[in-house]
Structure 1
Amino acid sequence: MNKKVILLIIFQLLSFTTYKATAKGFKFAIITDTHLSSGNPKPAEDLQLSVNQINATPNIDFVLVTGDITENGDRASLLHAKSILDRLHIKYYIIPGNHETKWSESGMTDFAQIFGSERFDFEHQDFRFLGFNTGPLMRMAYGHVAPQDITWLKQELEKAGKDRPIVLATHYPIQEGDVDNWYELTDAVRPYNIRMFIGGHYHSNRQLSYDGIPGILIRSNLRDKDGIGGYGIAEVTSDSILIYNERIGEPKQKWAALSLHHTYYPRAGKATKYPDFSVNQKFPQVKYDWLLHTGIGIYSSPYIYKDRVYIGDDMGYLSCYTLKEGHKCWSFQSKQRIVGTPAAADGVVVFGSADNHIYGLDSQTGVQKWKIQTNAPVLGAVSIENGVAYIGASDHTFRAIHMQTGKVVWEYTQVKGYIETKPLLTKDEVVFGAWDNTLYALQKKNGTERWKWTGGLTRIHFSPAAVWPVYANNKVFIADPQRALTAIDLQTGETVWRTFQSQVRETIGISTDKKRLYAKTMNDSIVCYSTEPNTAVKLWSTNVGFGYEHAPSMLIEKNNILFGSTKEGVIFAVKAKSGEVVWIYKVGNSLVNTVLPIGSQKLLFTTTNGEVGLLNWRN
């Protein structure tokens, strides 16, 4: 290290340790993990008690509300929470938690509409406060800070300057096992004077360290085993930040203190740990044809039509790329995020947007041909057959649409929950799940209901809603969040068999000859069952070694190779008839959406961190 670099580091450390706050001192409250829901009045009662006590407490300047405001992310519960929080006599600043982002009938658009934004940014005395979303959005995975949010954060910190004390509010703790790109975030903020991260998620008071940066987690607002709810208080003095636990009706108790002058981390440092990409060295035959970093989160899988690739993203863009080089041909922007995977045929690409519309675009130019207004966001993926596009929305409606004209051929309006899945098209039926514990089967030609299956599920969190159903031998197969692999009679909707043997979750696949059923377990393995008998018969299982896993990314077979992906950036290939591992490749550390194999030696993928890539390999 040369002398100039050493002097620069010393200067930064000195400037950090000699910063003297000129704030007069202030207090703020932290409310987190309120979990309001329509079926349980107690969380709302607990929140009201906290609001009442904060209003009765002198010298509290503002309130931070750090996520999991509701249990299911639904609009009614968000509005209920707002009606209570609006009774505060002081200003509050709010961000979402994973219960707003994962289970959200609006694709998480209601939150910003109701509260104004998914972020906050304000100054109080000498301090700057920034709060932002830590996901995960719609797909079950670790928390994730979207690339566009990291860009925003860097810009705002640069405006604040290197020495202004900063408090960052998140829902998740920023550490491995909670947020998949924790290292990107801590590396991005460490050049600045971060005094602490503050948040919740674990429903308990905890003091942590995020690559040296202090982290404070606050207890849930919900009543504890003693029947008492509560919140946190932060008191900023001339030299410290003091953290208190505030139980309703009891004196506050200090449980943590942070110095405003101590150097907790080197500004010129880096994360203490990064993801391990060493597995890639074992399979050098896997290479990139091309790789794009879009800078925008992506939650849809890619779709290929006539050597063009179509992808929707978190900023509402439907973009078209060349398959061979990855060159962008055009982008069309809807007014809200795109969650569901698009589809194309007959010169038209169809997709749904959380802006309450379904779009049909010219596949070559991106020019809008038609759009259909819905009564709620459209989060479902698209399936196409014989010039008709099939897609579900959050307005309790499933639609069949003529692709050339945009005319609705039929609609089924009896869905109780919202739809995010890709519908299964059989000879005569269309089958899809929703977040209401139910799998629906309709007649494909007119939308008449054939049957509904619930399998005894009683919680929406167990719904067969993220899985893309498959079928063979007159049976529909699903894997739901209750961790059961299930076969359902296609004609009657009766359960043929249901097994918890392999602990699968929301991921499934079918062989091209329809004889084998695949699923991803929650710990390391892929399992294969026979589709033919009317009992669960396992054919093989193989340990791929991907660890704990619950991402709803489907398994796809192509040319007798089975491909899959994980929440931690791993793509794998195994032999379809034996489960023998062919290769494993880590493309990042965030969720890889359902991959798209092409021919015998190429594979297209997208990630929630905004990567789009084309892999190839040699035998």
Structure 2
Amino acid sequence: MFSFSLSSPVPLRRERKTRYALSACLLMLCWFGLTHDAKAEVAQSKENLMTPLWQVATEGQIWSSPAVEKGRIYVGSDDGDFYAIDQASQTVLWRFATQGKVRAAPALDAKHVYFSSDDGYLYALNKESGQEVWRFHLNDGDVPRIGPANHAPWVFDYEKSSPVLANGRLFIGSADQHFYAIDSQNGKQIWRIQTNGMVRATPSLGDKVVYISSWGGRVYQIDQTSGQINWQFDTGSPIVSRVVAVGDKLIVGARNGVLFALNAQGTEQWRFTMPEGSWVESSAVVDSDQRHFYLGTSDAKILYKFDSQTGKTIWQTTLHGWIWGTPLLYQGQVYIGASGAKEYWTPVTQGFFKVNTKTGHTTKLYTPASSPTHYVHGGVFATPAVQNNQLIVADLDGKVYGFALSQ
């Protein structure tokens, strides 16, 4: 058995917001009006609303980022099913039922698709037929999720660790406070290590090592072969974003509102504190120059372009919703969704955008639908994908959309 607490330390700023919302709003307006750097601000965003070419509906919200390959789209849904969709015909080729929400992004190899579910299992399915090949018990099916809400506790446990494949091994975190290496062919455990909190973030691969982060606030570098922990770094706050290598820096954000840059030995190189102590839920995406990266924020509702060497911002643009997901970088544009929420202390509105990587010029591509039954009522969390000159977007409205990239 294991024990842990979902009452991990979170910024007390959220408690204060309930009582001082009006004062905070006025203070924020003054701050932006008096101290903003005009050179760092980008132009006002404009709308260029896109109409989807097609759409395929599931029966639940979609938090899972889709994987695309050879005209197929693989994605999970909160309805508990995992889907294989044919892009050309916009039909569901097969769907596989689990006993929990499927929020993990899938990993693919030549024959299989791998994903985890809130029922506590990591699954391997045949990509062609959708038949189960094996399943591995991650021991976290009974961990209660405390989803986003406009009241305490401010836990916001919505993320799921996704499997990452390398050299015949699957690396994945669990809410049982362990991190696993699994043989991709037979589903057998190779090794596991104990962490200091739930692992909801997706791991990242380095040269013979793997990086993970935990709700206990630590970043780990682990040897892929042995499972030995090489080093740990303590951010002091829960982490749900993944560790991303940008040049010679490792970038990771935490819920204390701080973005950290580490070197390969796990030593802090610089830190950036977000406005208003905004959580850093988003994971970085690396620019083609391998120096700059793009990353979103929660309460601040800002998408940034950073210089990884200095920690300085190149530009910033406000998207008016929670930017929790990982952006997609494609042909000089950043594609990113923002989520909306009801009855929060500031307005939080959903949207889907493209942002020019050079200038930060922002275009709203469409406004996702709202749901009357969910606190996070609309938007896009999942990272989009590109296939056959179409932008594939999985929306919280439960639909997968195909948009023409030429629009």
TM-score by length of 1: 0.45
In structure 2, what is the Cα distance between the partners aligned to 1:398 and 1:342? 17
Match of 2:275, SS? coil
**How far apart in 2 are the matches of 1:306 and 1:387?**
22
Q: Cα distance, 1:504 vs. partner?
A: 6.0
1:469 is the counterpart of 2:289: no
Please state how far the C-alpha of 1:544 moved relative to its aligned partner.
6.1
Distance 1:565 1:37, change over 3 A: closer
Pick from 328, 333, 338 the counterpart of residue 510 of structure 1: 328
**Are positions 1:326 and 2:141 aligned together?**
no
Among 537, 542, 547, which residue is 2:361 paired with? Answer: 537
Write the mapping of 1:547-566 to structure 2, written as runs, cut at 5 A: 547=370, 549-566=378-395
Partner Cα distance (2:11, 2:220) in 1 = 28
User: How far apart, in 2, do the equivalents of 1:38 and 1:566 lie?
Assistant: 29
- Report the residue type matching 1:320 in the other structure: A
Q: What is the one-letter code of the residue matched to 1:477?
A: Y
Residue 313 of structure 2 corresponds to which residue in structure 1? Answer: 495
One-letter amino acid of the counterpart of residue 371, structure 1: R
Alignment coverage as a number of residue pairs = 304
Which protein is bigger by CA-based radius of gyration?
1
Q: How far apart, CA to CA, are the structure 2 residues paired with 1:145 and 1:529?
A: 29
Question: Is this contact kept in 1: 2:328–2:334, CA < 8 A?
Answer: yes
Q: Output the CA distance in 2 between the equivalents of 1:347 and 1:550.
A: 35
- Do structure 1's residue 449 and structure 2's residue 268 form an aligned pair? yes
Query: What is the CA–CA distance in structure 1 between the aligned matches of 2:88 and 2:11, rounded to whole Å?
Result: 53
Matches of 1:431 and 1:558, distance apart in 2 = 28
The answer as to 2:303 corresponding to 1:485 is yes
Deviates more, 1:289-298 or 1:345-354: 289-298
Higher helix share: 1
**With CA pairs under 8 Å and 6+ residues apart, which has the higher RCO, 1 or 2?**
2
> Displacement, 1:386?
3.0
The aligned counterpart of 1:424 is 244
Amino acid at match of 1:518: Y
Report the Cα distance in structure 2 between the residues aligned to 1:502 and 1:375, rounded to whole angstroms: 34
Structure 1 position 361, deviation (Å): 1.0
Gaps of 5+ in 1: 1-35, 44-135, 149-279, 581-619
Tell me which stretches of 4 or more aligned residues in structure 1 moved more than 6 Å: 136-139, 144-148
Q: Report what 2:170 is aligned to.
A: 349
Partner of 1:404: 225
Q: Is the 8 A contact 1:305 1:345 kept in 2?
A: no
From 363, 367, 377, give the equivalent of 2:188: 367
Percent of aligned pairs with the same amino acid: 22
Aligned residue type for 2:283: W
Change (3 A) 1:516 1:504: farther
Contact 1:510 1:557 in 2 (8 A): no
Consecutive unaligned residues of structure 2, counting only runs of 5 or more, are 1-8, 17-60, 65-76, 144-159, 340-348, 371-376
The answer to whether 1:569 aligns with 2:398 is yes
Q: Distance in 2 between matches of 1:358 and 1:322?
A: 25
Change (3 A) 1:438 1:502: same
Q: Distance in 1 between matches of 2:271 and 2:236?
A: 11
What is the CA–CA distance in structure 2 between the aligned matches of 1:501 and 1:376, rounded to whole Å? 31
Distance (Å, rounded) in 2 between the aligned partners of 1:298 and 1:147: 6
Equivalent pair of 1:556/1:564 in contact (CA under 8 Å)? yes
State whether residues 305 and 314 of structure 2, in contact with CA within 8 Å, keep that contact through their aligned partners in structure 1: yes
Partner of 2:36: none
TM-score of the superposition, structure 2-length normalised?
Answer: 0.66
Q: Deviations over 1:212-256 (max 9, x none)?
A: xxxxxxxxxxxxxxxxxxxxxxxxxxxxxxxxxxxxxxxxxxxxx
Superposition RMSD on alpha carbons, in Å? 3.4
Q: Which amino acid aligns with 2:136?
A: F
Write the mapping of 1:268-417 to structure 2, written as runs, cut at 5 A.
285-337=89-141, 339-412=160-233, 414-417=234-237
